[in-house]
Amino acid sequence: MKVLHVTTHFNVGGITKYILNLAKAVQTEGVEVIVASSGGDLEPGLKKCGIRHLQLNIKTKFEFGPKAIISGFKIAGIIKNEKIDLLHAHTRVSQVASAIASAITGVPVVTTCHGYFKKRSRALVDTWGVKVIAISDAVRMHLRDDLGVSEPRIKLIYSGVDADRFSRVYSREEMLALKRSIGLRDGPVIGTIGRLSSIKGQKYLIMAFREVMAERGDTQCVIVGSGPEESALKDLAGSMGVYDSVKFIESCDDTHRYLSMMDVFVFPSIKEGLGIALLEALASGRACVASRIGGIEDIITDGRNGILIDVENSHGIADAILRLLDDDVLRKKIGEEGRAMVRSRFTLNTMADNITKLYRETAGE
């Protein structure tokens, strides 16, 4: 069968990584994937895997604006030309455009809800498709209770990661070389990966880092990501007196390189559907500290495979980091538990198998 994935852009981010990983995995299940978006940094990743990308002028914040509506008609043309069996939409705008294309062609739509939405126009116009994938149980309840999507239309399929990709263990010499390549000294490293936006809560990590340095002055911090909060976060690090010990790294696809340097991974999100970066950190065997919010609680069992802290609690983050840095046995145990949990519940193959089954059911095969 032939599936067209529609998204707003293909720059580095959780949704893009989800599509790229899924597109690669379902190919082994006999599903041919084409991606349509306004393009972005990760397009070469599609080409490398033999997945075609079609340019679509769909990048806009207005879900019922001209770009979304025009894109709907263009997607209808793609469906006819490429003989598409199913649409899979991932963002608000792409869901609207795909709903228009489906109305024109009769080809069904599956959507994935990657996080949380305000009710707004969604209370009046339903663009969720025949089936909507919830990436965590918290997102499933949000769809049902807040957005009024009926339970039979919702399919809970957890996001997954390629655990083998994050299994490599570096020698001490390799690790020192990696650290030096970005200007880090030897010594403990904490860090996070994610888009630099207020909802990801990186400012609470920086505030916590000042407390950590007061106890462990040799600690360093790595923040990987790009986004609108970059200047504000750098200013905060400066005002806190920790700027020289914080390394800001632009968004990249090779996250394992940076995860391997971290003794403790922190995921201080204010809202989170599930968290691909957190799954990748767990798959890498990092000891993780994360917010007690949303889909994160589907992943982390407090004290067993990670440490949960209250949202916007920099003191709690600092205490958890220091606890892990001061206890090598606990840090290693939590890291190993996290890696094992990802391999048992959150693998890319499991996600791909479940979504392929949903595709075939929805398309009537």
- Check whether residue 211 and residue 323 sit in a common domain: yes
- Residue 176 pLDDT level (bands cut at 50, 70, 90): confident
Asked whether residue 64 carries a pLDDT value surpassing 60, the answer given is yes
- Check whether residue 331 and residue 358 sit in a common domain: no
Interhelix angle 314-325/328-345, nearest 10 degrees = 110
Could you give the percent of the chain with pLDDT greater than 70? Answer: 98
- Check whether residue 114 and residue 192 sit in a common domain: no
Q: In the predicted model, what is the mean pLDDT of residues 156-183?
A: 89
Domain count, the chain: 2
| CATH number of domain containing 66 | 3.40.50.2000
- Check whether residue 172 and residue 300 sit in a common domain: yes
- Check whether residue 142 and residue 56 sit in a common domain: yes
The token pair at 243 is 């700027």
- Check whether residue 312 and residue 226 sit in a common domain: yes
Q: What is the DSSP letter of 161?
A: B
- Check whether residue 263 and residue 284 sit in a common domain: yes
The token pair at 274 is 């599930």
CB 243 within 8 A of CB 237: yes
- Check whether residue 214 and residue 269 sit in a common domain: yes
Q: CA-to-CA distance for 139 and 133, rounded, in angstroms?
A: 9
112-155 per-position pLDDT tens digit: 999 988 776 555 678 999 999 999 999 999 999 999 999 999 99
Question: What's residue 122's pLDDT?
Answer: 58
- Check whether residue 215 and residue 308 sit in a common domain: yes
- Check whether residue 149 and residue 172 sit in a common domain: no
**Residue 222 sits in which domain range?**
163-345
Which of 10-24, 40-54, 281-295 shows the highest mean pLDDT? 281-295
Question: What's residue 126's pLDDT?
Answer: 85
- Check whether residue 143 and residue 284 sit in a common domain: no
The token pair at 268 is 């201080």
- Check whether residue 58 and residue 25 sit in a common domain: yes
CB 240 within 8 A of CB 246: no
Confidence (pTM): 0.91
CB 20 within 8 A of CB 45: yes
- Counting Cβ atoms within 10 Å, is residue 114 exposed (0-12), middle (13-18) or buried (19+)? buried
Question: What's residue 121's pLDDT?
Answer: 55
Q: In the predicted model, what is the mean pLDDT of residues 68-79?
A: 97
267-318 per-position pLDDT tens digit: 999 999 999 999 999 999 999 999 999 999 999 999 999 999 999 999 999 9
Question: What's residue 172's pLDDT?
Answer: 82
Question: What's residue 96's pLDDT?
Answer: 95
CB 135 within 8 A of CB 154: no
Asked whether residue 37 carries a pLDDT value surpassing 90, the answer given is yes
Please, which residues have CB within 8 angstroms of residue 197's CB and are 6 or more apart in sequence?
A: 227, 228, 229
